[in-house]
Each structure stands twice: as structure tokens, then as C-alpha cells.
Amino acid sequence: MELKTPAIRSPALGQILVLVAGLVIALPVAVVLMTGLTEGGGAAWTHIRDTLLTSYLTGTVSMLALTAMLCLLMAVPAAWLVTMFRFPGRGMFEWLLVLPLAAPGYVLAYAWGDLAGVGGPLQSALRDATGWSARDYWFPDISSLPGLSFVLACTLYPYVYLTARAAFISQSVCTMEAARSLGASASRTFWSVALPAARPAIAAGLALAMMEAAADYGAAEFLGVPTLTYGIVRAWKSFGEPAAAARLAFVLLALILTFVIVERQARGRAGIQQSSVRWRTISRVSLKGPAAMGAAALCTGLFTLAFALPVGRLVWRSLEAGTRVASVSDALLNSLILAGAGAAFAFILALIIALSIRGRGALSTFARLAASSGYAIPGAVLALGALAIISILPFAMTGAVALAALAWVYAVRFTAAGTEPMAAALARAPASIGLAAQSLGASPLRRTLEVDLPVAMSGAAAAALVLFVEALKELPATLMLRPFNWDTLSVRAHAYASDERLAAAALPALLITVAGLAPVILLSWQMSRARPGSNA
């Protein structure tokens, strides 16, 4: 026997659990793909292929390219500044800049659409100040592809910011001090040493951000930008052709797979670079005068655009409208229950998969891949799959069945987000612990239960919180599957916003954001603690 030490190996139970977890996740995806392959797609598909597919494809690809660029521009300089330098507000910005992650794309789209629209406060102020009419000046159009990219980058750049910051902290201290001691300037150190070393981590963060951007439905719909995901939902709801929607999903999945591969490869390479185990506190360079002001201004600007301004507008709108929390208390309760159920389901699946990773078996790879593809697939598509499956089964899509279906879709969609923190916890634990257990004669099952499980649970709080909030934010699948009297905050916000009643949408949108803050702050805090090098 070689040193392959599966955590869940021969015990049939473990294998079966992983298989079941994988299948549970893969099933809706597979059903959708099968529908796309086998069913004709109907007249709607011919229409979509001939007239819309090109614009969906170019729309999605250019939106992703622009979003990626904006994410990098927002995230990398800010991460570099807060990690390497000392300037007024630095410690605060370190975690403030993660907060935009709390607001889902569609919430920022509502807020920014309101702020930057022709009747919104920004343009009104401009007109009032200058006496111009709307046709006397040019103003960036928020209801456009660049507008969508901007909004998505605002909420997704923290993925890149987090990975970039972690990379700068963990990988560069020694090398960068070496570079500096050899007389390299700060900018040269950044471009020639730090950035190349951090590139895999940045790519991994960016791939995650791109998956989220590609899966966005609410923001694209609200801003009227034709993307593949928008097209999928439209094929379903306007043309009434699930098969055509499934074919579009196929195209999207191909695109997404590219990001999954990029992320995998980047992660693989990132692992190798973890060479030094000696940690030292980073000695931050103090910025003086204009440089310090510039750094603070850049961080302030980023935080204002991505969070303070849009969220502030939502606060203003709900105060102005006088919406009482009581008016959405039922939706709040529904959200908590549904997200709780979905998170619990996803958590169990994520735990099973995380525990199986050490084994590197085919089943584990399958389950992990299934989770990744589920994560990348828009909720609307998964809902289609769930609907198709349930239509075969002998019960009606009501009450408990619909709730179960929704929890299932949440689990399919988000398990990957829970697997990662637990997998990370396992990866941090030295392999020797497991080997020691094995050499002491512990059975693989016992080793899994008594060694790996407790280790994985150390990442559990973060995983559970992430899962919970992701489920809370989910929109399209909730729209499609929720049973009677089960409106959630996201559903309510969407309904009001589509009714052109932004004032009413503001409060539920705000509550989603507030709920989202908790795990974001926890994650940010954990990250800064997990890296001894960051103690400043």
C-alpha cells in the first residue's frame, strides 16, 4: 500500500454517503443538461438561436471581461495598500473593504439604478447646480452593460481583495524584504515580486467572482442587460420553453467550466508557493503627506462607491417611505427558516464531501466537481431541474414538497461554498496527525470520525454562516419554487423593484444586506487572525 490514505475508504457507508451527496447535487444539473440535449428545444430555441444567442453570448462575455477588469482595479491596489503600508484609517479599511460582499448584486443594482438614473439624486443635483436639462450633458448610463459590470464588480471585488490580501500577507514578506534590501523600489517590488507571486491567488478569487457574475439574474434583469442567465430565465418565463432554457444553460455551463478549471489550477499552484513557515510581522511602510492622503482617498472612494453610497440610499429610501419592519416581518421569518433549512442541508453535504477529499477517490472528485458545477449554475436553472424531477414523482409541488425542493436547490447551489472552509481547515491540519492515527491502528472510519471530523468542524462556523447567507440572498430559484405564503425578503425586494416601487423594495433589500454583514465580518476577522503575519 502506498501513502494514499483515504479518510473514507473501504467502509461502504462512507462511499455510499459520498456517492449520495454527489448524486443529490448532480441530479438537477444532469436533468437540465439532459433536457437540453434530448429535447428539441421547440420553436423558441430556433428563435433564440437565430436572433438572441449572439447577443446573450457577447453580452455575457463582455460583461464578464469588464467585471473582471473592474474587480482587479478595485481589489488589487486596495489589498496592496492595506497590507503593505501605514496610512490614516488603514486598520479600518482592512475590513470595511470586505463589507460590499454582504449586498447581493440585485440589491446594489436597485440602489445604483435609483442613484444614477436620470431622475435620481446624482443627476438631479447636477441639473440643479448647473441649470442644465438632461440633454445638455452626458452621464454614464447605469442601465447598460458597463453599468451592470460596475454594480457586479462593486459587490464581487471583495473575493479578489480577500485572496490578494491573503497572498500578499502570507507569501511575500520574506521575498519582499529581500527585494527591498536589494534596493528595489516599492513599485518595483509590487510589479516584479509581489504581484507575480500573488497571481494564482488573485486568479482564484477572480474565478469565484466570475462564477457569481455569470450566475447573476436579478441585477441583469433590473438593468436590462441581455446575458445568458437572463436569457435562460426569459426562455423559461416568456417563451415557456424549459428545453430552450436548458440549451442556453448548456452554453453557460461550458463558459463556467472554464472558470472552474482556472480556479482549480490556480489553487494548485498557490499551494506550492507556501514555502516559508516562519512568520514575521509585516513591517508596514508609513506613508507620508500626499501619498498617505492618496491611499486613504482611494480606499474611501472604493468603500463609498461599493457600499456606503448605495446602502445609504436604501436607508434613506426606507426612512423616507416610513416602511416599518413589521410590514416585512413575515418575509423576514420565512427567509430565516428557509435559509436555515437550506444551509443545514448544504452543510451536511459539504461536510461529507470535505471529509472525503483526503481520500482523493474518484467518488470524492465526482462529488466535489458536482458541487462546483452546482455553485456555478444559476438558481433558475436548478429550479427547472428540480421542477422536472418532481413532476415525475408522485406528489404535488406544494407545501412541504416545495419547501424540500427549495432547500434541495439551495444545497445544490451552495454546497461548494461550505466545502471550502472545511476543506481548508482539514488542509491546515498536518497530515502527520492522520498518519499517526493510522499507525496506531485506527480504522479509516474511526480516523474520519475522531480525527478529521473535529478538525473539519473548526471551519464549520464559517461554512454554516456562509451557507446561510448565500441561501438568504438567493433570488431566482426562490421565486420559482417557494410554496404558498412563503415570500422571502429577496422575493419581496424583487417584487417591489419590478413593480417600480423602489421605496418599498428598500427595506427588504436592506435587511438582506444587514444579514449578510455578519458572516462577512466574521470571515474578515478570521482571515486576519489566521495569518500571524498580519498582526500589526
Partner 1 sequence: MSKIVLAIASLAILAACGQSEPPAQPAEGTDAAATASEAAGQVLNVYSARHYDSDKVLYAKFEDETGIKVNVRESGAPELLETMKAEGAESPADVIIASDAGALYRFQLEGFTQAVKSDVLEAAIPAQLREAEGHWFGLAKRARVIVYDPQLLPAEEVDTYADLAEERLKGELCVRSSTNIYNLSLLSEMIGRNGSEAAEAWATGVASNFARPPEGGDTAQIEAVAAGQCAAAIVNHYYWLRLATGTTEERLTAARTAVSFPDQDTTGTHINITGAAVSSTSRSPELAVRFIEFLTTPEGQALLTSETKEFPIVAGAVNPEGLDLLPAFKQSDYPLTDLGSRQAEAQAIFDRAGWN
- For partner 1, the binding residues (CB under 8 A) are 51, 117-121, 123-124, 127, 133-136, 141, 143-144, 224, 236-238, 240, 242, 320-322, 326-327, 330, 387-388, 391, 396-398, 479-480, 482-485, 487, 491-492, 495-496, 498-501, 503
Judged by beta carbon, residue 450 or residue 499, the one nearer partner 1 is: 499
When the beta carbons of 147 and 359 are compared against partner 1, the nearer one is 147
CB of 155 to partner 1, least distance (A): 21
Rounded CA-CA distance 371/363 in Å is 12
Compare residues 401 and 521 and give the one whose CB is closer to partner 1.
Answer: 401
Report the residue number, 128 or 450, with the smaller CB distance to partner 1.
Answer: 128
> Are the CB atoms for 67 and 156 separated by under 8 Å?
yes
Closer Cβ to partner 1, 11 or 121, answer by number = 121
- Answer yes or no: are the C-beta atoms of 381 and 245 closer than 8 Å: yes
The set of cell numbers assigned to 181 is 534590501
Pairwise CA distance, residues 349 & 30, whole Å: 18
Q: How far is the CB of 133 from partner 1 (least distance, A)?
A: 3
Shortest distance (Å) from residue 347 CB to partner 1: 25
Here the contacts of 456-461 (C-beta below 8 Å, separation 24 or greater) are 456/351, 456/354, 456/355, 456/422, 456/425, 456/426, 457/422, 457/425, 458/425, 459/354, 459/421, 459/422, 459/423, 459/424, 459/425, 459/426, 460/347, 460/351, 460/421, 460/422, 461/522
3-state DSSP assignment of residue 217: coil
- Closer by beta carbon to partner 1, 55 or else 258: 55
Separation CA 103–CA 509 (nearest Å): 8
Residue 413 near residue 249, CB atoms below 8 Å = no
Q: Which is nearer to partner 1, 242 or 421 (CB)?
A: 242
What is the maximum span of the chain, computed from C-alpha positions, in angstroms?
Answer: 83
Smallest separation (angstroms) from partner 1 to the CB of 496: 6
The residue among 71 and 314 lying less far from partner 1, judged by its C-beta, is: 314
Q: Are 24 and 412 in contact (CB under 8 A)?
A: yes
- Please name the residue that has the C-alpha cell 449586498: 103
- Residues with Cβ within 8 Å of 488's Cβ and at least 6 positions away in sequence, in order, are 331, 334, 335, 338, 339, 472, 478, 482
Residues 121 and 139: their CA atoms lie apart, in Å, by 13
| Smallest separation (angstroms) from partner 1 to the CB of 16 | 31
Closest distance to partner 1 from the beta carbon of 125 (Å): 11
Can you tell me the distance from the alpha carbon of 52 to that of 287, in angstroms, rounded to the nearest whole number? 52
Smallest distance from partner 1 to CB 502, Å: 8
| Residue 313: CB minimum distance to partner 1, A | 12
Burial label for 99, CB within 10 Å (0-12, 13-18, 19+), is buried
CB closer to partner 1 out of 317 and 447: 317
Shortest distance (Å) from residue 464 CB to partner 1 = 26
Closer to partner 1 by CB, 136 or 450: give it. 136
In 3D, which of 203, 237, 101 has the Cα closest to residue 156?
101
Least distance (Å) between residue 56 CB and partner 1: 14
